[in-house]
Amino acid sequence: MRINVPIRIILPTVQLILAIGLFALGDYQLNEHRKMVRDSATGRTVRDDPWPESLETGRFVDYAINAPAWVAKTNTPWVLTSPLDPSNRQAAFWRGIKSGRDWWYLLYIALMWFWIGLLIDQRLASKKLDLSPAQRWRKSALGSACLAYGAFMLWTHPSFGMTRHYEIWFIASVLLWGALLVVAGLGFLYLSRADRRHAPM
C-alpha cells in the first residue's frame, strides 16, 4: 500500500528536524570554544564579555537556510517573547532554546515551509489553468506579500550589519532570500495580470 505524504507536511518536518540538529551543533561549537579559553588552574572561562553569536556556526547555517524566518524572529516584539535562564534545564525541553524568540523561529520555519509545500502541492495537483477571479486575487495577494516581505528583508540588511558582526556568507544568504522573494512576488503579480487578460468576459 502506497502512502502519499503531502509535500506541505514533508518540508516543514524535515526543516524542523534540521533546525534542531543544527542548534545542537551550534551549542556544541560554543562549548568547545569556551573550553579553549578556560584557565588551566581554576577551570573557569577567562572571558567576561558576551560570546559572539557567530561562534555558533551550526545555528547560523540554519538561519541562512531559513533567512525569512530568521528576519521574522529578530523583528518579533519582545513583549511576545521571554528570556530563558540557561541554568534552568526545566525552562525548555532542550537547552538549545535560549529565549522565547527561538520558539517563534521554529514556528516561523514550520509556517514558511508549509506554505512553500502547499504551493508545490497545488501546482502538482492542478490539471488545468484556473482563471477564476478568486484564483487571480490569490495570486495578486501572494505576489504583493512576497514583494513586500522581500523588500523588507533587503531594507533591514544595513541595520543588522551595523550593530552585530555577521559572516559574509550569512549576509549574502539573507540578501539572496530577499531578492528571490521580490522576484517571486513580481512573478505572481505578472501571472495575475496575465490571467485577467485571458479570462473569459
- The per-residue pLDDT for range 156-191, each reduced to its tens digit, is 875 555 556 788 888 899 999 999 999 999 998 988
What secondary structure does DSSP assign to 121-152, as a single string?
A: HHHHH--S----HHHHHHHHHHHHHHHHHHHH
Mean pLDDT score across all residues of the chain: 78
Instruction: Tell me the three cell numbers of residue 64.
Output: 541562512
What secondary structure does DSSP assign to 90-129, as a single string?
A: GGSSSTT--BHHHHHHHHHHHHHHHHHHHHHHHHHH--S-
Distance separating alpha carbons of residues 189 and 107, to the nearest angstrom: 27
Q: Which of 183, 181, 186 is nearest to 72 (CA)?
A: 181
Q: Percent of the chain scored above 90 by pLDDT? A: 39
- The per-residue pLDDT for range 47-90, each reduced to its tens digit, is 444 455 667 889 999 999 999 999 999 888 765 555 544 444 44
pLDDT value of residue 156: 82
- 3-state DSSP assignment of residue 199: coil
**Residue 27: CB partners within 8 Å, gap ≥ 6?**
56, 58, 59, 95, 96
Distance separating alpha carbons of residues 41 and 159, to the nearest angstrom: 42
Q: Which letter, b or e, does each residue of 61-70 get, where b requires 16 or more Cβ atoms within 10 Å of its Cβ? A: bbbbbbbbbb
Distance separating alpha carbons of residues 141 and 68, to the nearest angstrom: 18
Distance separating alpha carbons of residues 23 and 62, to the nearest angstrom: 8
Distance separating alpha carbons of residues 49 and 167, to the nearest angstrom: 20
| Cβ atoms 71, 153 nearer than 8 A | yes
Query: How far apart, in Å, do the first and last CA atoms of the chain sit?
Result: 46
Q: Domain residue spans in the chain?
A: 1-127, 130-201
pLDDT value of residue 158: 53
Distance separating alpha carbons of residues 148 and 135, to the nearest angstrom: 20
**Residue 108: CB partners within 8 Å, gap ≥ 6?**
66, 68, 69, 72, 73
